[in-house]
Structure 1
Amino acid sequence: MKAAIPFVHIVPAAVFLLALLTAAGCGSSQEVAPPLAGAPAAPKEERPPLFTFGIVYPMAHPFYEEITQLAEKAAEPFSIQLIVKAPEEINLEQQIRMMETMIKQRVDAIAIDPIDSRALVPVINKAVEAGIPVICFEADSPDSKRLSYIGTDHFQAGTAMGGVIERLLKGRGMLLVQTGLAGMEIQQARLEGLLLYLEEHTDIQVLEIRYHEGSSEQALADMEAMIDDHPHFDALVSMDIISGSTSVLVWKAKGLNRDAVAFGLTPEIKEAVHNGQIASVISQNEQDWGHLLIDHLLKATQKIAVPAFVDTGIQEIKKEKQAVAR
């Protein structure tokens, strides 16, 4: 503790200052000049944000950039700073380090789309134990201490994709499938839902399934190889956003007139549906995620209860601009 300044040292200085101001006022009749026209106003003091929220994506992609924009818009009425992080490509170790950094920064709450639901459990729990509430979105980590999950039932989403393929191929035909990481639970759930539906309700044959393991280059090479190996295929299903983006490139380059179906409504996929490269896309109603993330994070910081699972549902988007809610 600093020693208190003796009162006797302060009074003379105050009296002296008052005397100077009085003398200046009495000795001159000149008025203080107004500020010059057009002169910049004194900068206003910026207040620090009331809350700092972290958002961690599985990778950098326009799909997630759009969600960030929606979250920023939802945060505008509040004094919220967003720290947004994502590996350049899907990388579990980088995502874990990003979570560790946010814990050290003492952010107020974190929203994460976990690459590996099980591998992220320790770091999610570490954040919660440090007093930082965590919510998951798109992919869940149910064995962790996360507060809530915002997203959809991915098995049901795969089932819905099976219904779309059945309609497009009229229950018969040959199908190619590309998906993401073999060990990613949401990818497996979507694939299982799709395959089970096709087996039980159609005579559609799945010719080949390939995993690109998070690499755009691998996705392109695999997709071109599948098409070359099975030239008489009738449709291709892209089960993740990397596969969807790749299918747009391939359809444009090859001018294919087969049906391509995608999962995840990215800006690129929206355009491809409009242009006819993509016949149909299954959306997770991603347009709702931004405001739901901010709402849940705000409530979490204020100890207000939030649902353990918010099902955003799915809808099919087709060229006719008709959405079929499910």
Structure 2
Amino acid sequence: MKKLLFATVFAGSLAALAVTLYLMLTIYSGDQGMSGGSETALGAHSERVVVISQEQGSYVMDEIEKGARTAAAGHGMMIDFWGVYRSNDEELLKQIDIAIASKVDGIILEGADRPDFVRLVNKATEKGIPVITINSDAPGSLRKTYIGSNHYQEGILMGQHLAQQLHGKGTIGVITNAESSDTDQLRLKGLREVLDRHAGVKLVFASEDASKLQASMQTFDILNHVPDVIAFIGLPADSGKRIVEAVDFRSRRKDSQVFMFDASPQTKSMIKDGLIQAGLSQHYEDMGKMSVDLLQRWLDSERLPLDPSYYTPISVVGPADVKEEAP
């Protein structure tokens, strides 16, 4: 039994070591003429930058990556894309630490205003590696700047749209992420600020136990406890389909509208089909391009210091907007 336990622990350690070595090799491979998943236009002496994501493989990061690759190619910069596919704070922090140890020229990452995250951003800065946050911020850190949406303004914009669509009255169910983020809190702050001006509008949430579950379970919980709810607003980017399915299961499609802080292809398709009333476009590709352009500006010591934040456009996407985009 002890031999089996030892073998299992040993195998796990080897696997973790292999992942670490692979990530470090990916960064160093640029000097050896290997691609390692990165792109460069000028070869071994180009700046080496890594983009680290909290949601690798998502629509958001695919769009950010598209913009970042375009900008990197224009600057002759070698760029790699790392990240975790599911919420894994430990692995995310490990990747940041590896990037620092690899002495990259710059780091672009999705921020989190947590002590462990801030500590690593500050560590990179102290070692002369500029860090730029993208899409979500870490304002308490020494990052050089933030590029992305103003999440507080997103809440205000969506609140204004909801108030208009509901004619200033009605109960709205809010579907949250299982783990509340700074982004969610800023959106809710703006949303509440607008809707509090309308005495006829009320925001409701799933019960404490249900709030940690997926979007469909939160929707069911709200429908169970607040039968007069007439609309739902989804904070998680991938929650639209689950909210709609739960509403349909309860035969509430005709008297329940759905709104999203998201405008992914799936959300737009559901808006087109009349299942979701509106989403929020956040221009992720622009974020990717701007983050690389500003990092290059910092590396070239041009027009410094950078502004604390560079906000990308936001806009409500409704049926008319989706119809205009159709081929």
Establish whether residue 172 from structure 1 lines up as the match of residue 182 from structure 2.
no
Residues 181 and 187 of structure 1 are in contact (CA less than 8 Å); yes or no, is this contact kept in structure 2? Answer: no
Q: 2:307 maps to which residue?
A: 307
Residues 71 and 290 of structure 1 are in contact (CA less than 8 Å); yes or no, is this contact kept in structure 2? Answer: yes
- CA pair 286-218 structure 1, distance change in 2 beyond 3 A: same
- CA pair 105-73 structure 1, distance change in 2 beyond 3 A: same
Q: Per-residue displacement from partner, 1:183-222 (whole Å, max 9, x unpaired)?
A: 421211111221232122341122324689998x623322
Matches within 5 A, 1:154-169: 154-169=151-166
Q: Per-residue displacement from partner, 1:78-103 (whole Å, max 9, x unpaired)?
A: 32222212222223222211111111
TM-score by length of 2: 0.75
Q: 2:316 maps to which residue?
A: 316
Q: In 2, distance between residues paired with 1:48 and 1:247?
A: 49
CA RMSD of aligned residues (A): 2.8
Q: 2:52 maps to which residue?
A: 56
- CA shift, 1:72, in A, is 1.5
Residues 175 and 206 of structure 2 are in contact (CA less than 8 Å); yes or no, is this contact kept in structure 1? Answer: yes
Q: Secondary structure of 1:48's partner?
A: coil
- CA pair 193-80 structure 1, distance change in 2 beyond 3 A: same
Q: In 2, distance between residues paired with 1:75 and 1:214?
A: 40
- CA shift, 1:117, in A, is 4.4
- CA shift, 1:50, in A, is 0.6
Q: Secondary structure of 2:170's partner?
A: strand
Matches within 5 A, 1:171-320: 171-180=168-177, 182-209=179-206, 218-244=214-240, 246-247=242-243, 250=246, 256-257=253-254, 258-304=256-302, 305=304, 306-320=306-320
Q: In 1, distance between residues paired with 2:64 and 2:54?
A: 13
Determine what percentage of the aligned residue pairs are the same residue.
24
Q: Secondary structure of 1:201's partner?
A: coil
- CA shift, 1:283, in A, is 2.3
Structure 1: gaps of 5 or more residues: 1-45
Residue type of the alignment partner of 1:259: Q
Q: 2:19 maps to which residue?
A: none
Residue type of the alignment partner of 1:283: S
Residues 282 and 317 of structure 1 are in contact (CA less than 8 Å); yes or no, is this contact kept in structure 2? Answer: yes
Q: 2:32 maps to which residue?
A: none
> How many pairs does the alignment contain?
277
Establish whether residue 82 from structure 1 lines up as the match of residue 79 from structure 2.
yes
Establish whether residue 107 from structure 1 lines up as the match of residue 65 from structure 2.
no
Residue type of the alignment partner of 2:320: E
TM-score by length of 1: 0.76
Q: In 2, distance between residues paired with 1:211 and 1:280?
A: 27
Residues 52 and 81 of structure 1 are in contact (CA less than 8 Å); yes or no, is this contact kept in structure 2? Answer: yes
Which structure is larger by alpha-carbon Rg, 1 or 2? 1
Q: Secondary structure of 1:207's partner?
A: strand
